[in-house]
Amino acid sequence: MNATQEQLNRLLSGATPSASELASLLKAQGKARDLIYTAADDLRRKTMGDAVYLRGIIEFSNVCKNNCWYCGIRCDNDNVARYRMATGEIVETAKNAKLWGCGTVVLQSGEDTYFTADILCGLLRRIKDETGLAVTLSVGVRTRGELAQMKAAGCDRYLLRFETTSNALFSAIHPDESFEHRVQCLTDLRDLGYQVGSGFMIGLPGSTLEMIAHDILFATRLKLDMIGCGPFLSHPDTPLAEKPLIEDRSVYYKTIALLRLLNPTAHIPATTAFDALEPDGRNLVLTRGANVFMPNVTPGKYRRLYQLYPNKPCVDEDGAACALCVRGRLASLGREIGAGPGHSVREP
Ligand code: 5AD
Ligand code: FES
């Protein structure tokens, strides 16, 4: 048996690899690389099945008080017109998401102080009452008190990426935040009974394969219900303009595959940023470990205004178009749409 297959077998038997072992797998090329993809796809089929859960994402506000160096909607970017969707419009969008086959809506925004916990609670209650969908919030760092309030209002899940485990890199690119604070928020979410999603950007400027390996290990140690990662894509209106992609594009995919191998029962989405990398990026990730798809259900008129990174797909589409597109994509992969909310299947 070859060396890569032996390494993969160790992972499959539940062994925790060292960072340098993972980094060597991230370097794999040719047949060795394909073995990683196949092992991840086989494991995904065994643990999560062929159903792909649809989480409709509603980008309900692009107002943000923060200045993260990578992000296109950072507050200092004057080239974006800012918008906030009204509560009624968000609820209508959630109803559409349900019609289009989503079992979950993900409410995402910048760190917008207008949307206080009270306002978000009103919104959560209406969406739960009027659609019964599972609801995920992705609205940045909040206090434990606010998180408790939103859980009580019916929120099921929360997404908050840690972005990188390098403290130095985290501080350099997040002028308004600290790594400890984010991790504290993740701990609070878990304590409060949320299903927790987190993850990181792959290939931030200055990161190495060793650092990506540490990110993979950290995400694994958090025992997340959902792990969302995508390539870092340089946005022209940010301090990280013109930073290159990782030369070996397969590193992005191997990262997802290794996350699957280390987290057999986590939900892993084929994140939108993979489609910005290449047109069938999200399809490819679904065959390399992922089991979740997050169609954009945001009303078309807002989509151009929510470009965290360039080449974001679907900005000229509307929710119905994406819903149709997803069906075609899954059919071409021989996968079906998951019924119901697609809650966490992780042991509590
Ligand atoms: N490239 C890739 N991903 C990005 N995000 C924000 N900006 C970028 C970028 N330029 C990701 C972050 C954030 C999520 C909502 O979007 O990881 O947590
Ligand atoms: Fe939006 Fe394909 S998912 S057009």
pLDDT in tens, 87-103: 999 999 999 999 999 99
Note the ligand closest to the C-alpha atom of 313: 2
User: What is the C-alpha to C-alpha distance for residues 55 and 210, in angstroms, rounded to an integer?
Assistant: 32
pLDDT tens-digit readout, 29-52 = 999 999 999 999 999 999 999 999
Give the integer Cα–Cα distance in Å for 78 and 34: 44
Residue reference for tokens 């643990």: 47
8 A C-beta contact, residue 140 and residue 90: no
Longest dimension (CA), the chain: 59
Q: Is 72 within the bounds of a domain?
A: yes
> What residues flank ligand 2, with Cβ below 6 Å?
295-296, 313-314, 317, 321-322, 325-326
Which atom of ligand 2 lies at the shortest distance from residue 329's CA? 2
Is 226 a domain residue?
Answer: yes
| CATH number of the domain bearing residue 224 | 3.20.20.70
Q: What is the mean predicted confidence (pLDDT) over 102-114?
A: 98
pLDDT digits over 117-156, tens only? 999 999 999 999 999 999 999 999 999 999 999 999 999 9
Minimum-distance ligand to the CA of 252? 1
> What local confidence, expressed as pLDDT, does residue 58 receive?
98
Q: How many whole angstroms from 58 Cα to the centroid of ligand 1?
A: 16
Of 338, 84, 345, 106, the closest CA to residue 228 belongs to 106
Distance from residue 197's CA to the centre of ligand 1 (Å): 14
Task: Give domain status of residue 21, yes or no.
Answer: no
Q: Token pair 């434990």 is at which residue? A: 144
pLDDT at 1: 64
The DSSP-derived string for 9-59 is HHHHTTPPPPHHHHHHHHT--HHHHHHHHHHHHHHHHHHH-SEEEEEEEEE
pLDDT of residue 348: 65
Domain-embedded: residue 31: no
CA–CA distances in Å: residue 200 to residues 56, 226, 239, 256, 342: 20, 12, 19, 11, 22
Residue nearest to atom 3 of ligand 2 (CA): 322
d(CA 90, CA 92): 5
Query: Which is nearest to 274 in space by CA: 227, 234, 312, 315?
Result: 312
Whose CA is closest to atom 4 on ligand 2?
A: 322
- The confidence score (pLDDT) of residue 347 equals 75
Mean pLDDT of all residues in the chain?
97
Ligand 1 within 6 A of CB of 71: yes
How far does residue 316's CA lie from ligand 2's centre (Å)? 9
For residue 92, being part of any structural domain is answered with: yes
For residue 242, tell me if it sits in a domain.
yes
Kindly state the average pLDDT of the residues 258-263: 98
In a domain, 308, yes or no: yes
Confidence grade of residue 346 (pLDDT, cut at 50, 70, 90):
confident
Q: Can you give the residue range of the structural domain that contains 64?
A: 47-334
Q: Is the CB of 306 under 6 A from ligand 1?
A: no
The pLDDT score that the predictor gives to residue 261 is 98
Question: Is 29 contained in some domain?
Answer: no
Number of domains in the chain: 1
Q: What is the pLDDT of residues 187-211, one digit of tens each?
A: 999 999 999 999 999 999 999 999 9
Kindly report the pTM of this predicted structure: 0.98
Atom of ligand 1 nearest to the CA of 138: 15
Burial 288-325, CB ≥16 within 10 A → b, else e: bbbbbbbbbbbbbebbebbbbbeebbbeebbbeebbee
Separation between Cα atoms, residue 248 and residue 246, nearest integer Å? 6
From ligand 2's centre to the CA of 143, what distance in Å? 35
Ligand 2 atom showing the smallest separation from residue 322 Cα? 1
